[in-house]
Chain A
Amino acid sequence: MKNAEEKWEPKILAFLCNWCSYAGADLAGISRIQYPPNIRVVRVPCSGRVNPYYIIKALQRGWDGVLVSGCHPGDCHYISGNLVARRRFAVLKDLLEYFGIEPERVNFSWVSAAEGEKFANVVTDVVKEVKALGPAKRLVKR
């Protein structure tokens, strides 16, 4: 058992917007920047496309963390998708924290297509924080 715990690696579900963060992740890749391989990427057209249900459902399904990443404010391909998303995520994050879900499990970031390095840093941070928390238990449906 101890061995299994030591070997545990968090699984992070990442929703990346097609126009910025996904390209940022791509840049991190082609620039050969190293970052932990714990994320699984879902490409979405815009961070505004991410329904709060997705985040909650991921937590219920046992993902150890969720990362939603989009374009910087003002850079949205659809003008304001990320600004709408920002309010939604602010409320969701506050609410989940209030209900007792560890805030480190739900993450948001702005990463542009030119920020391969930032993307790697964000993922490294998220993985580090989630690792410190251990496997998700609270909302997971057994």
Chain B
Amino acid sequence: MENFEDSIREVAEKLLRDKKVDLIIGYEQGTLPLRTTPCFVEKLEDVKKLVWNASCDANLSKYVVGKKEKVGVVAKGCDARLIAVCAVENQIPRENVVVIGVPCQGVIDRKKIEAKLEGKEVLEAVVKDEQIKVEGEGFEVVLPKKDFLCDSCHTCRHRNPPIYDVLIGEKLPQSTDKNEFAEVSSLESKSTEERWEHFKEELSTCIRCYACRNVCPLCYCKMCFVDQSMPTWFGKTNDLSDTMIYHIVRAFHVAGRCVDCGACTRACPMAINLRELVKKTEKIMKERYNYEAGLGLEEVPPLGEFKMEDSQEFIK
């Protein structure tokens, strides 16, 4: 990891010096332990701010959408996939972006650590050799990193960026044979009634803060359907029906585009498991159209094309 950080700085410095890019988007150390924040580097002397560690969880492709200048962006597997999706959708001019691909070993889910510590405040944390050492007032624990990764990272099959201009380090083996749809499948095996009750309970805590939408690189619409008032499609209340519809339509909107980066789940202040809502769309796309988003620049989004022989068993 250490040398990843050095390589990132080296590459960033070179790109800036050669005027290949005007801006580097990466991560810098946050003010709290286990946190990083997006970092925008325009000057050579700021390059040293860039860091790389297991807390680099923000999806930086969000900041590339809509940028006019040439940017270099530090991208994990999922970030790079989203850059590809946005490039396919003409939201990112690919030639303007230098993707600094970083093979990723998964990012830490702070919510899991918070849950483990039962509300005790972490004052210092060190991640080393697959272990997280957290310290606070009157306690010190060492946690195995693999148990505290994000759910998306557990089943990630694209740890290496599928598109990149510069690769930091070496590609990782695609190791996981875990079923990424296990959660979805277990829900599917339940009855409609049970599923409804499950989602009702899960979403009843939603406060409609739209953090999940705002953090998502795919939500780049200038006017979101929930903000629209002429016509007002759906209510803005946190009435169950409105909340449910917001989440259904959000899932529908990312169908065939979502790469399960987990940003929405991490952003949710109410700890709603948003992953199980959107993961289904990925499953539908895979089963029906054998499509996985963000693996290349030549792909056509499944809802942007059709085939005569598409499945239609549901049509009377």
Contact = CB atoms under 8 A, between A and B. Distances in A.
Interface of A: 52-53, 56-57, 60, 73-74, 80, 83-84, 86-103, 107-110, 122, 125-126, 138-142
Nearest to A107: B316
B198 interface: yes
Given A60-B234, A140-B241, A98 B280 contact: yes
Interface stretch (B112-120, B187-195, B267-275): B187-195
24 contacts: A52-B252, A53-B233, A56-B249, A57-B233, A57-B234, A83-B306, A83-B308, A89-B314, A90-B288, A90-B311, A91-B285, A91-B288, A95-B255, A95-B284, A98-B195, A99-B244, A100-B192, A100-B197, A107-B316, A109-B315, A109-B316, A141-B241, A142-B239, A142-B241
B44 interface: no
A96 B192 CA distance: 10
Nearest 4 A/B pairs, CB to CB: A100-B196, A109-B316, A100-B195, A141-B241
B251 interface: yes
A86 B312 contact: yes
- The A interface, classified by DSSP as helix, strand, loop or mixed, is helix
Given A56-B245, A57-B233, A109-B315, A95 B310 contact: no
A98 B187 contact: yes
B289 interface: yes
Contacts of B256: 91
Nearest to B314: A93
A108 B316 CA distance: 6
Contacts of B224: none
- The B interface, classified by DSSP as helix, strand, loop or mixed, is helix
Contact of B255 (A91, A141, A142): A91
Contacts of B296: none
Nearest to B306: A83
Given A56-B245, A139-B244, A99 B252 contact: no
A100 B284 CA distance: 16
B277 to A, nearest CB: 8
Contacts of B194: 100
B303 interface: yes
Nearest to A108: B315
B234 A74 contact: no
Nearest to B251: A95
A95 B312 contact: no
A95 B280 contact: yes
B310 A83 contact: yes
